[in-house]
Structure 1
Amino acid sequence: MSYDTWHNYGYGICVDDITEQDVGKLEQLLDCAPVFHAKVQKWLSDSGVADPTWDDYMEYDQDFSLGLATLLREVIEEAEGIPLTACDDFDCNDYLLYSPSYPWQLNDTDRSLTEEQVAKIFRRYVQILTSKPIDIDYQSVENGG
């Protein structure tokens, strides 16, 4: 039996720093990505959830259990067209990262992004969920299994 570790590097946020759990604000966030919002609503309906709670929404990512990180990733990817990585660390803290890529993997949008523009994108969507500012910085997220 072996144990492997891995790192995810990038510029982003620790999603667990968002401590508010307001369903109305979460639904406002989802409204920013109508295609994804419809997918979530269908999943809730298929699951028999008529009046979803915060925890119901957090169960959407049943593959990796990354909850809000996954929802934020999907919304920002649909609305902004940039790829993000949702991941967690050894302590089960969830992160959302804009990760470095090889030049040949970059599309025109990625190629023109600056650090300030990425920070602005993160702030735009985080501010929907909370008025408390959160740190946007370079992250090295380590996990294993």
Structure 2
Amino acid sequence: MCFVLDSNSFHCFFNPACSAYYDFEPLHNWLYKTTGTKIVYGGTTNLNEISRLEKYLPYLVELRKISKLIQIDTKLVDEETERIKAVINNKDCDDPHIIALLAVSGCLVFASQDKRADKYIKRKNLYPKNTPRRSIYRQRSHSNLLKADNIVTIQNEI
């Protein structure tokens, strides 16, 4: 399964001392133990958010080394972010870059504790036609998303 990990949930994914690690542990194990699973990242906003999480950068370096971290073309994600902002036209949506990253990469799963973006992440009209609906992994009960159907061929990798 390829997934976008929200920068505000890195601590839940990488830090076993985090109270929400229990919920993210199945996702963490799936990434490390299953062939074809990867974290997808990209776009200026996403890169800037991640760069501020210095504590977790060594984890990302290690994931990159073992081919579990995939960067998507920044220019394409940024262009799609602007298109999505225009379509939504609502300041309430502060994560158009995440929707753009999902759309440009073809990734089907977003992992986050933040619920504010849910209604936008699931809006089918924000993604290319004839693509599956995106899913959100938030807690252990969402482990049903950890399946081969969600391992997709990533598009626009750099």
> Shared fold by TM > 0.5?
no
The structure with the greater share of residues assigned to strand is 1
The structure with the greater share of residues assigned to helix is 2
The higher relative CO (CA closer than 8 Å, separation ≥ 6) is in: 1
Task: Please tell me whether Structure 1 or Structure 2 has the larger radius of gyration of its CA atoms.
Answer: 1
TM-score, normalization: structure 2? 0.29
